[in-house]
Amino acid sequence: MTVSDIPGSAPVAPSPAPNSFQRVIGVLFSPNETFASIARQPDWIVPLALILVVSLIAGIVFAQRVDFGAPVRDAIEQNKNMSPEQAERTVRIASAAAKVFAYCSPAVSLIFLLIISGFLLLAFRVMGGEGDFRQAFSVTCYSWMPGLIKSIIITAIVAARSVSAADIATVLRSNLGFLVPMKQNPLLFTLLTKLDIFSIWLIALLVIGFSFVSRFSKAKSAAIVISLWVVATLLSLIGPAIQMLRR
């Protein structure tokens, strides 16, 4: 017998679902309760809008304050067959392309979030989990809040002082990449930058969120999310590995 079945007792109203802004804060400080609510009633407009606005601001700041030509010049120095005129033209083209890419960062962020959501949902469904794309996209957008915090901090640093594109990964000391010179050991540098505090936080939120969407245990959810992260990390090491083999 429930309380509402007792004669004369008032029915207990269900607690209202938190609004989107409460969820943005909730995923950072009470992720279990918040993601349980998101799995029941997914939404994505507010977190996605925050991500796109920050991406736009970051793109504008980066395009104006980041020296995208520095890494290209370093790479050209190893190519003795390129004339000074060719080298300068290559630097100009690469810098212009990087600035265009920076200005397009909101569209890039949206595409990236859609791809991540799709891959994660596919992996969980293949393993027998539940959930639909709306739930997956909602969880992914809310899980991106640590990345949003990192973007805000890095954008503030870059706005205060100009930096090279090669230094963006370590301008915020949230990983150990600053301990290894990128020019001397690009493979280890890239690996260390992937072991980032904010990335680990983001992965933990994805594990919790998708455990509620898929109705898997957190251990099984962690196995799937971390496995995909390992694969993505290994793929990102291909370029630096080739760069080291060419030396």
Tens of pLDDT along 85-135? 776 787 788 888 888 888 999 999 999 999 999 999 999 999 999 999 999
Q: In which element (H, E) is residue 206 found? A: helix 197-214
Predicted TM-score (pTM) of the model is 0.87
pLDDT above 90: residue 147: yes
> How far is 242 from 247, CA to CA, in rounded Å?
9
Cα distances (Å, whole numbers) of residue 215 to 27, 123, 210: 18, 14, 8
**Whether the predicted pLDDT of 71 surpasses 90:** no
What pLDDT, on the 0 to 100 scale, is given for residue 80? 61
* 116 neighbors 12 (Cβ within 8 angstroms): no
Average pLDDT estimate for 49-66: 94
- Distance in angstroms (rounded) separating the CA atoms of residues 232 and 191: 11
Q: Which of 164-168, 192-196, 221-225, 230-234 has the lowest mean pLDDT?
A: 164-168
Residue 84 has pLDDT above 80, yes or no: no
